[in-house]
Amino acid sequence: MKNAQKSREKTIQERMAEEDRIREKIDNKGNRWTKVYFGGGDHFKNWLAQSKELGEVMVEKVDSKGYKCFEEAGERLYRIWLKIGTSKNQLLLEERRLIMPDEEAIRKQIKELEAEKKEREGSLPAHSVRPQQILEIEELESAIAEKKKELEQLKMEG
């Protein structure tokens, strides 16, 4: 039973990939919001203070399950949303998109995942490979495939 439950839980790579896809949302009043931060701790406090200077913000609590360092420290995770449409923050958001376009960010993530996969493959022993080692490599392969799919989808939209 425990193994069946564990196999249904999402990997950290899957959770991070899902989080990367969360970029904008519309509230029940029709206001558009863009995600400007995901994380916790002191970084969250700094980002929140800076975001408030740019305009109206909304804070959303996120389940930290699967994010080992946050779970172990008992820290919460948050998303900071900045309301779109006010002239003060719209220019900054456009500037941010020009600095690192989505396509570029995804390519960077793919390279990082591929480097990690190569490192893990290089550390496999010649004999007696542990099943966990194979699973970790397979999870990285899945995350890479998902990012490549996301990149292709972004190209088709653009």
Q: In this structure, what DSSP letter does residue 58 have?
A: E
Token readout for 24 is 């904008």
CA distance 117 to 43: 29
The owner of tokens 């804070």 is 59
CA distance 38 to 124: 33
Alpha helices in the chain (DSSP H): 2-8, 12-21, 41-54, 68-73, 87-99, 102-122, 131-157
Kindly provide the b/e burial profile for residues 26-38, where b requires at least 16 CB atoms within 10 angstroms of the residue's own CB: eeeeeeebbbbbb
Per-residue confidence in pLDDT tens, the chain, 158 aa: 455 444 457 777 788 888 888 888 888 888 889 888 898 888 888 889 888 888 889 999 998 877 777 788 888 899 999 887 654 555 566 555 544 447 777 888 899 889 989 988 998 888 888 888 888 888 889 889 988 988 888 777 65
| pTM of the model as a whole | 0.52
CA distance 9 to 78: 21
The owner of tokens 């990082």 is 112
Query: Can you tell me whether residue 3 is helix, strand or coil?
Result: helix
CA distance 35 to 24: 6
